[in-house]
Structure formats: structure tokens, C-alpha cells
């Protein structure tokens, strides 16, 4: 079942990229008591993710925070070391990287895609969600092959 607006995020473990190294975080703890803009990409270093999705959130980070968002986070079905490298290459310190290496979170919220024909296996769909104290406040899932509703600009237009 796909998560929807009004649902509480399921329990899952993500790996937060920190300067000290990978840190496991539980969704219940990570999203508690604050408003987080979470965007998901099919993969770090992939074309649309690197050329548009992440750069858009970097460019709009201050404007998004000014609308009452406490943190902006990105998740992908990649390991924490790949997510760290992607953050470094893009100077993306304004974005918290949350690795979902085994797709446990993507599966738990029902937002996976099968990238097998591209040699990528199970990945996350491209989406943006606004989470307030662990509850999905807004959710924008892209149609296959599109990049419109999950953009930072679209999120800003609805905040």
C-alpha cells in the first residue's frame, strides 16, 4: 500500500550521512517534533537527480526553510558512502542525506520502482513529501520518466 497524506511514516531505519561517518536513525525519532521536506531520487549521480532534482533543492533551500520547514533531506536507495560522495561533489551541505541502501524505507511506504532493465534493481520512485511530526502533510509522486511535481519549485508553490 502506498503512503498517503495524513498517514504516519512507518518505522524504518535510514542511515544519515554525517561528518563523523554513517549514523543509523529511526524514522520515528528523525521526523519527530519538526517539519521536514523529504525528497527521494532513484539514485545519486543519475542524470535527472544530479542535474535538476538536487540542484533545485540546493538553490531553493533558504526559501523552503523560510516557509516553516526545519530540515530538507534527500533519500535514495544508495549506501551512505555514495550519498556522502554525492553530497561532497555537489557541495550539498544544506541537505541532509539519508541512505536507504536496502530500499527498506521505500518498500515500507510503497514507493519503489523496478530499475532492473537499467541494472539498478529496486529503487525509490521520485517524490517529495512534507512530513510534520512524523505525519505526511503533502506528497507529490512523479509519473514514470517525469520531473515536475517533486521539484523544489513545486514544493515552494504549495507551501
Residues that are catalytic: 49
DSSP E strands, the chain: 13-18, 21-26, 35-41, 71-76, 96-99, 112-114, 122-124, 127-132, 135-141
In a domain, 6, yes or no: no
In a domain, 7, yes or no: no
In a domain, 3, yes or no: no
Give 87-128 pLDDT, tens digit per residue: 999 999 999 999 999 999 999 999 998 888 887 778 899 999
Number of domains in the chain: 1
For residues 130 and 123, which has the higher predicted lDDT (pLDDT)?
Answer: 130
In a domain, 4, yes or no: no
In a domain, 2, yes or no: no
Q: What is the pTM of this model?
A: 0.94
Q: How far apart are CA 54 and CA 40, in angstroms?
A: 10
Identify the CATH number of the domain in which residue 41 sits: 3.40.30.10
Amino acid at each position: 500500500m502506498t503512503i498517503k497524506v495524513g498517514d504516519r511514516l512507518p518505522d524504518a531505519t535510514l542511515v544519515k550521512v554525517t561528518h563523523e561517518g554513517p549514523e543509523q536513525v529511526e524514522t520515528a525519532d528523525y521526523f519527530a517534533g519538526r517539519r521536514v521536506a523529504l525528497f527521494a531520487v532513484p539514485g545519486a549521480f543519475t542524470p535527472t537527480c544530479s542535474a535538476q532534482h538536487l540542484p533545485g533543492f540546493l538553490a531553493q533551500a533558504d526559501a523552503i526553510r523560510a516557509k516553516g520547514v526545519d530540515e530538507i533531506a534527500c533519500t535514495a536507495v544508495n549506501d551512505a558512502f555514495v550519498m556522502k560522495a554525492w553530497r561532497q561533489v555537489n557541495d550539498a551541505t544544506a541537505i541532509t542525506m539519508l541512505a536507504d541502501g536496502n530500499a527498506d524505507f521505500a518498500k515500507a511506504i510503497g514507493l519503489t520502482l523496478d530499475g532492473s532493465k537499467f541494472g539498478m534493481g529496486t529503487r525509490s520512485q521520485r517524490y517529495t513529501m512534507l512530513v510534520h511530526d512524523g505525519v505526511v502533510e503533502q506528497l507529490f509522486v512523479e509519473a514514470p520518466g517525469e520531473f515536475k511535481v517533486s521539484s523544489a519549485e513545486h514544493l515552494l508553490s504549495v507551501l
